[in-house]
A and B are shown apart, each in its own frame.
Chain A
Amino acid sequence: MDEEYDAIVLGTGLKECILSGMLSVSGKKVLHVDRNKYYGGRVGVNLSSGRAFGAPPPDDSYGRKRDWNVDLIPKFLMANGSLVKLLIHTGVTRYLEFKSVEGSYVYKGGKISKVPVDQKEALASDLMGMFEKRRFRNFLIYVQDFSGDDPKTWKDFDPNTQNMQALYEKFGLDKNTQDFTGHALALHRDDDYLNRPAVETINRIKLYSDSLARYGKSPYLYPMYGLGELPQGFARLSAIYGGTYMLDKPIDEIVLGEGGKVVGVRSGNEVAKCKQVYCDPTYVSDRVRKKGKVIRCICLMDHPVPNTKDALSTQIIIPQKQVGRNSDIYVSLVSYTHQVAAKGWFIAMVSTTVETDNPETEIKPGLDLLGPIRQKFVSVSDYYEPTDDGLESQIFISQSYDATTHFETTCLDVLDIFKRGTGEEFDFSKIKHELGDEEQ
């Protein structure tokens, strides 16, 4: 450990592992440390950890313990999203195998409907009346033809100055349609987007439909063996490019030098010198502030979600207004088909941003959709963000994971940290793709 590094990364959560991989690939000498004995921070656990939630030990009906890989923070990848781009450009896809999520649903008036995304589905959807369907179809065609570089496709509407509300009005879409468009297609977490330029939402809807076009059933992907595989893949990338890994190493102090700039990291009597530190909020409690709370409820079930055509994986979004809230409720389901549960088992997760003193009742509309639940694990966690941009101290801190069930915000945070830390955008061309022919 007593060496000098360009960067020390603390924690092996997904964001830290992506950063570690990107830094190693960029030629930096990286030391990556985790205080735990295992990779992945808070991403995945096996079933025996259920005791931490005060649950009874699993009985025989749960099958073998090692068949379970339960994500603590379940999320899906958008097939055309930034995490997939990162995976492709870094070559980490070599280490992973994916399955397409089978269904994408939205909640309306107590029941769930398939999210319509092309004109055929729009016309067949039970979410809208006959005339609304036609208006929605026209809106979808507009979005599909839209190109940010070509004002001709804007059709007398300036998406950079006019807001999304104005675009909805231009097409005469009612509140209901706005609701599922903004939340289930554009994946906004609240209604603030209505007052922001429309271009943002248009691009989000395009991301959704482009992702859908890639693999079919839904725009979402999920890795076999669970999300714990993602940080491991990036960790391998980092190691292959020379990163050094140390697990089970407690961090006692981040050592500061002149001007409050970081000079190293101390563990016991050892100090590793470095120019920069990248870490998650748990390593620097004095440099982060609480921004809110997220509640997540993991449910083990022996059946799929009712009314989803027995899909083995699903995402359901409950738009805030449908249940009188200010933030959406997300429901996701994965199962034994992804090698994350024993044969015949399903893992559902209901999550949202906490708004009241009684978070468990807040997620009730989500839980009610699931049918009988065999075992429930509820956790409420604080959501932290760094108090500064890290430029002065050279300590770059990631934000906690939010309630969303996809990775778009995660990637934005990582790319932003990389840019602050290195002063440049990540150069994807730096990675040579054919590893293994190192002697050439």
Chain B
Amino acid sequence: MATIKIPEQKVILCGEYGVGKSSIFRRFTNNTFITATDRKSTLGLDHFEKTYCACDKDIKLQLWDTGGMERVASITSSYYKFAEAAVLVFALDNPASFHVLSQHLLDIVTYAENAKIFLCGNKSDLIEDVPQVTDSEIEAFCEQCHNLISGTYKTSCRTGEGLEEMFNDIANQLVNSNRSRLELQSMEQHGFKITQNEELTEDSCLC
């Protein structure tokens, strides 16, 4: 137990089908973008870890994609478990994806009650003169949520604009709000993940 572990924070992406959750995920993992022509519903994306440095502390953001389960059925509640942060994603050119967010918000507060919640308007490159979702609407939404929203961002996965800033800010906020808890956590005995059987050093107890 002498090793210093960088704290790992689970961050989940939530939002309607097609708003670009997986595009955010791809930008996060390897900074690529896939254009609309060959875009399809998500297959094969799971989760990915990246280390950020916030306030002189290293923190590992572990970003989770929905795995495409929202296509037809609902997402399993286990997706939300242990999440420290949730990013509510909507598309700035799609008002419907914005108005449905209250539903996703409800899921988050039910299944991941400790998660900090962030709001992300994606596809900012598609906004022309008249925005489909206005700043005042976004503000009104945050107010209605009794300030549950810890931060709002506008991003574009096509250009990559705003994404690095968003994740840096999330990392910062998690470090600040969790500082004391993280230290406590490292002392407290928690559950464990099962890993590949390490070679047993001695032939167990019967000798």
Q: Which A residues have a C-beta under 8 Å from some C-beta of B?
A: 39, 66, 79-80, 84, 87-88, 93-99, 117-120, 140-141, 143-145, 209-210, 213-215, 221, 224-225, 228-229, 232-233, 235-236, 239-242, 244-247, 435-439
Bound state CA distance, A221 and B193, in angstroms? 11
Whether B72 pairs with A245 at a CB distance below 8 angstroms is yes
Other A-B contacts than A209-B205, A229-B81, 17 sampled, CB-CB below 8 A, are A66-B110, A80-B197, A93-B194, A97-B193, A141-B206, A144-B203, A213-B204, A221-B194, A224-B81, A225-B78, A236-B78, A239-B69, A244-B71, A244-B72, A435-B44, A437-B29, A437-B30
Q: A213-B205, A435-B46 are in contact. Are A229 and B191 (CB under 8 A)?
A: no
B27 at the interface (CB under 8 A from A): no
**A-B pairs with lowest CB-CB distance, top 7:** A144-B206, A245-B73, A435-B46, A118-B205, A232-B76, A97-B191, A213-B204
Which chain A positions have C-beta within 8 A of B204? Answer: 118, 144, 209-210, 213
Instruction: Give which listed residue, B45, B71, B82, B195, contacts A93 with CB less than 8 A.
Output: B195
Bound state CA distance, A246 and B30, in angstroms? 31
CB closest residue in chain A, given B25: A436
Bound state CA distance, A88 and B193, in angstroms? 10
Q: A98-B192, A120-B205, A439-B32 are in contact. Are A214 and B197 (CB under 8 A)?
A: yes
Which chain A positions have C-beta within 8 A of B73? Answer: 245-247
Whether B206 pairs with A119 at a CB distance below 8 angstroms is yes
Bound state CA distance, A51 and B43, in angstroms? 40
Bound state CA distance, A438 and B207, in angstroms? 47
From residue B108, how far is it (CB to closest CB) to chain A in Å? 13
Which chain B positions have C-beta within 8 A of A88? Answer: 194-196
Interface residues in B154-205 by Cβ distance below 8 A to A read: 190-197, 200, 203-205
Whether B79 pairs with A236 at a CB distance below 8 angstroms is yes
CB closest residue in chain A, given B203: A144
Bound state CA distance, A97 and B82, in angstroms? 10
Instruction: Give which listed residue, B46, B192, B206, contacts A240 with CB less than 8 A.
Output: B46
Bound state CA distance, A117 and B195, in angstroms? 24
B102 at the interface (CB under 8 A from A): no
B68 at the interface (CB under 8 A from A): yes
**For the complex, would chain B's binding face be called helix, strand, loop or mixed by DSSP majority?**
loop
Which chain B positions have C-beta within 8 A of A247? Answer: 73-74
Bound state CA distance, A182 and B46, in angstroms? 43
From residue A416, how far is it (CB to closest CB) to chain B in Å? 24
From residue B184, how far is it (CB to closest CB) to chain A in Å? 17
Which chain A positions have C-beta within 8 A of B74? Answer: 247
Which chain B positions have C-beta within 8 A of A99? Answer: 191-192
Which chain A positions have C-beta within 8 A of B206? Answer: 118-119, 140-141, 143-145, 209
Bound state CA distance, A213 and B202, in angstroms? 10
Whether A213 pairs with B200 at a CB distance below 8 angstroms is yes
Bound state CA distance, A296 and B69, in angstroms? 33
Whether A232 pairs with B78 at a CB distance below 8 angstroms is yes
Whether A96 pairs with B193 at a CB distance below 8 angstroms is yes
Which chain A positions have C-beta within 8 A of B197? Answer: 80, 214
Bound state CA distance, A84 and B69, in angstroms? 24
From residue B38, how far is it (CB to closest CB) to chain A in Å? 12
Which chain B positions have C-beta within 8 A of A236? Answer: 67, 69, 76, 78-79
CB closest residue in chain A, given B81: A225
Indicate the member of A144, A214, A215, A245 with the most B CB atoms within 10 Å.
A245
From residue A185, how far is it (CB to closest CB) to chain B in Å? 12
Indicate the member of B26, B77, B191, B196 with the most A CB atoms within 10 Å.
B191
CB closest residue in chain B, given A229: B78
Which chain B positions have C-beta within 8 A of A95? Answer: 78
From residue A431, how far is it (CB to closest CB) to chain B in Å? 12
Q: A119-B205, A236-B67, A239-B69 are in contact. Are A436 and B47 (CB under 8 A)?
A: yes
B48 at the interface (CB under 8 A from A): yes
From residue A222, how far is it (CB to closest CB) to chain B in Å? 9
Q: A98-B193, A118-B205, A214-B197 are in contact. Are A242 and B43 (CB under 8 A)?
A: yes
